[in-house]
Every structure is written in structure tokens, then in C-alpha cells.
Structure 1
Amino acid sequence: METDKRPPAGGGDGCLVGVIRVPVKIVAVLVVLPVRVVWELLVAGGRAAHRHVLGPLYVHVVEPLLRALGWLLATLFKLVFVWPWVGLWRYVLIPVGEGLAWLGRGLYDQVLAPAGRFLGAYVLRPLGEALAWLGRGGMRYLLAPLAQGVGWIVWALGMTLFVWPWVGLWRYVLAPVGRGIAWLAAVFHRYVLQPVWLGFLWLVVAVYRYLLRPVGLGFVWSAVAVYRYVLRPVGLGFVWLAVAVYRYVLRPVGVGLGWLAVALYRYVLAPAGRVLVWAWHVAGLITAALWRGLKWVGRVLIGWPASWVYRHVLTPAGHAVREVWRTGRAAVREARASVRRALFGTPPVEPARSRARTLGSTTAADAAPADEISLPRRQG
């Protein structure tokens, strides 16, 4: 193929690429080409179904049904939820509200406002002034002395019932009892609690000094010795081993794997990808050519023969059948007319003008049926 004669991209990839490219091309053509053919057939079938079935079905069936359903739902919604409330608001609530407002304004203007002005001017104002005068006089000459006397009585009762008993209880009962309890608490603290507390502190100091401190120091010395002579050497050895494993094992293996991955990508995956892309485009071209060839073969093997058969066989045969049918039908009509004349006699002869315009007969008595344009005459 001409594509194989081109120099490889990137200045040449070597013999390894040439050895790998040929099997990859063969596999790509054997695998990708059928997949592309099937894909093109599915795409063509889907487009044809959408163009000739789904599109007209949606345009002529589904869309009118959806529009009719939307109009029906909108009309039902208006009938159930809009128009009743609009009619209620427009023809019931608004007139009733306007009537109530007019009635309220008339009642206020003609009844309540005059009554309020009359009551305020001639009843409530004089009554308020009289009550204010009585209140000032009663407060000065009656309520003030009475309030002073009641206040003195309440103060005396409060002192007698709520102050002096509590003062006496505190002075002669609670204060002596409190002082005695305080003296007993001081004695108990000096001669009981303080010696017990000092003994407990001495015991705690002795336990710390002669037991806990030596044990803690021994535990600390043991931990320091274990860290210095066991854990630190083991940790240093583990770190050295990890560094050695990384330096002499993991790093060379990682570098080798990186080189292997780069070489695999550069000399295997990239050429294989380019070959697959090329095979996909070639498969597309081959599929398009096959599709055009199939269309041409279908047009030649099916379309043209069918058109020729329809034009040169079926159409003349249809015309011949139509001529035979019309001739037979005319003969049958003539035979029925002859039988009718033989049995019932000849009917009265109509004028040629009226006979020619009779709707019951196809032709006049003296007119022959017009010749049909037959196939040979049309071809000639």
C-alpha cells in the first residue's frame, strides 16, 4: 500500500516498529473494518427510521396528540380552578364588598359620626370635667389622710409580724447556736483533722521518697538503656536497610520500569495507535465505498428492472385489462338492453339533444366511445 511507503514519523522508528506495524494493520483491518461496516449500517438504519418513521410519526401523530392534550388540560384547569374563582370575585365578592362599603360609609356619615359628636360635646365632656373636679377634692380632703393612716397601720403590722420575730430569732437563738458550732468546728479541726491531715501528708511523702522515686528512677534508667542499646541500633539498622533497599533495589527497578514504559509507549503503543487511527479512516473510506456500491447495485439490480417492468409490462397490461373490462361491460349492457326490448318493447325514442344529455347513460346513441390513449400510441 502507498501508506506503507511513506517514511516513518519522527525520523524513523526502526525495524521493531516495522515488524509490529504489519500484524497490527492486519488485525486492525480484520477487526476494525467489520465494526465500522456494522456501525455505518446501524447509523444508516437509524437515520432512515428517524426520517421515514419516527419523524413523521412524531409530526403527524404525537405532536398533535400532545397539543390536543395540552389544550384539554389547560381548558380543564381554567374550568375548574380559574373561571369559577374569577366569576365569584367579579360577580359576587366585588358587588357585595362595594355594597358593604357604601353601607358602612353611609352608616358612619349619617349615624355614628353625628352620635359621636353629640355624645362627646354634651355627655362625655361634662361628665369627665365633673369626675375630675370630684377626684381633685376627694384626693385632697379624704384620700390623703386615709392613705397616711392605712400606711402607718400596715407598717406597724409588718414590723410586728415579719421583722421583730426574725430579729429576735437571729439575736437570741441562731447567733448563739452559730457561735457554739463554730467553736466546736475549730476544736475538731485543731485536735482531729489537722493531725490526721499531717499524718497523711507524711505518709505520702515517705511513700514517694522511699518507694515511688526509686521505682521511677529504675524505670527511667531501664527505658534509657533499652532506647540507647536496643531501639536506637535497631532503628539505625532498619533505616540503613531501607536506604540500601531503595538505593540498590527500588530505584534501579523503578528506573528500569520507567525506561520500559517509555520504550513500550514510543515503539509499540504510539505506532499501534497511529495504525489504528489510519485503519479506522481506511475502514470508513471502504465502508463508504461499499455503501455506495451497494446502493448502485441495488439501483441496478432492483430499481431499474422494477421501473422497466412497471413501465413496459404492468402499465400496458393494466391498459389492456381496462379495455377488456370496458368492452365486456358495454357488451353486457347491450345484451340487457336487447332483452329488455324483446320483453317489454321498444321504449319511446328521445330527441338526440336530450338523449345526449341523459345522466343515466355514459354515451349518446349515435356517439361512439372515445379511444383511450394506449401504450403503443403514447410511445409513438
Structure 2
Amino acid sequence: MDLEKRHEPPLRQTPEGCLAVAIRIPVRIVVLVLVVPVRMVWDALVVVGRFLRDTVFRPLGRALSWLARAVFVWPLVALWRYGVVPVGKALGWLGKVLLVIPLTWLYRQVLTPLGHALVSMLAWLYARVLTPVGRAVAWFLRGTGLVLAAIAGGVYAVVAWLARYLLVVPGRWVYEWILAPVGRLIAWCARGVLWVLEMLFDGIGTALYWIGRVLFVLPALALWRWVLVPVGRVLAVVGREVWDALGHAWRVAGRISLAVGRALATLFRWVFVEPVRWAYRTVLTPVGHVVRDVLVRPVAAVARSAGRAAREALAAARESVRQARADFRRMLLGEPRRVEALDRREPTGPETRTLGSSTTALTKD
């Protein structure tokens, strides 16, 4: 398998000139010195922005979103659901009752029979009146048309003969023996004049071309070839190196900023977080446990017992008030009437009827 693999030739790197090598190191040093503070400030701003996003802007956005829903969306939904939709349904039903049903009845019971009667009357009028009248008018026009066509044919023939021998024949003779020779002479003179003008303009254009080439094109070409192109190449090399140096410096500054950030985070942890954690674990937690066992739990037990005693006292007072109210009602109104128990003809106590036994005389054991 290794023998079957094709070995790809290595990529050829373009040779670099001494100018690029001489520019690269100083530019990278200068750019690194300038970019490191910018990158550190940028990373600090990114950290602050993330902290603000997670702790301020996101909760604020959620609160504003909930407030917007509570102020705008929910009232509009309630208005649409409980106001617009019922009103629309009521208006639709009212329109159906007041407009659609009467118009449907009017169309079916009045307009349809009236239209059928009108169509029948028009059909009778067309068949009995208009058709005979039209046939008579057509027969009259057919006879009159034949007479007029014969008269028009004769007039046309006379006019065509007069026009041929009075207009066409003289016009053709004038065109062949007068206008055509004059036109050919004018065309030959115009071609001669155009040839002279063309030669004149060609000479002037050639002279102006060579004057413009010598005065403008050749100096501009020399300036482009011997000045602008070399300067452009040098500026391109400098720009490429500056761009590469900026990228390299930005990456190096990122690593430096990351190292500085980690160092500051470690310093903050050992200076603030670890002492606070140690104080919480070794001081505050035991003190809290002592306060909980010595103060909070006894106070809570006393509060629970006091609450229990208060509830019992309130229950006893409520029962006393209820008993006094019953005695006062009995004293004023007397004993309440006792409701006599109805005989439902059902056995009570242990003689209650179940699925496994029966109390009838036929099935009783």
C-alpha cells in the first residue's frame, strides 16, 4: 500500500528579497510594541462586555421583554379575543340576518320571475317583429347595393384611365430624363467632396495622434514603467510585511494578554477569593452552626410552642363562642324541630344486605 501512494512534490516557496527580510524584523518589533496595549485593552473590554451581557443586559432584556408582553401583547390579545372576535361574529350574524337573507329572498322570489318574463317578452319581440323587419331591410339594401356597385365600377375605370395618362406617364418621363441624371451628377459631386474631406481629416488626425503620442503617451509610459511600478512594488512589499506583522503581533499580543489575565486572575484568587473562602469555612460556618444550635433552634422551638398554644386558645375561644351562640338561639327560639327518620325498608347494622347474602324469604338460609 505504501508503494502505491503517490508522493506529492513539496510546495515551492517564492524567494524573498533582501528588502523584505530587512523590513520584516524592525516592523514586527515596532508593531508588537504598539499592538500589545491595544490588544490588552481590547481583551479587557471583551471581558467587561461579557460580564455586563450576562449580569446586566440579558436580565434587563428579559425584564423588558416581559414588560412589553404585559403592556402591549397581552392586552392586545385579550382585546382581540374578548372584544374584536365577539363583535365581529355579532356583526356577521346581524349582516346575514339583515342583508343576506332578505336579498336572497328578493332575488329568488321577485327578480328571477321578473327576469324570466322579460326574457320571454324579448324573445317574442325578436322572433315576431325584429326578424321580419330585418329581412325586409336586407332585401332592400341588397338591390340598392348592386346598382351602386355598377355605378362605382364605371367611375373607377374612368378615373384610373385619366390618372394614368395625365399623372403617371408624365411623371415617369420627368423622372427618367430629368431627375435621375441630375441626381447622379449631385451624388458624384458629393462623393468627390467627401473624399477630399476624408483625406483632409485623415491627415489632421495622423498629425494630432503623433503629437499626442510624443507629448503625452511616451512620457506617461516612461513615468509608469520607470517610476510608478518600482515604487508600487516597494510599497506592496512594505504593506504586505506591515499586514503580516500586524497579524503576528495581534496573535502574540493575544497570548501575552491571556497570560497577564491569568496572572491577574490568580492574584485576585489568592488575595481575595481564597481568604474569603477560608474565612467562610473556618470562621463563619462554625459560628453559624453555634448560633443555629444555641439561638435559632431554641427560639424556633419556643415560637412553635407559642404558636401551638395560641392556636389551641383560639380554637377553645371559637368553640366557647359557638356554644354561647347556640345557647342564646335556643333560649330565644326554643329547641329546633327534630326530623323523624324515614323507614327506607332497608336492614341496618349487621343485617345489612350484601352480595353474598339475601334477606328475602325464598333465598334466606
TM class by shorter-chain length?
0.3 to 0.5
Q: Give TM-score, length-normalised by structure 1.
A: 0.45
TM-score, length of structure 2 as denominator length = 0.46
- Say which one has the larger Rg: 1
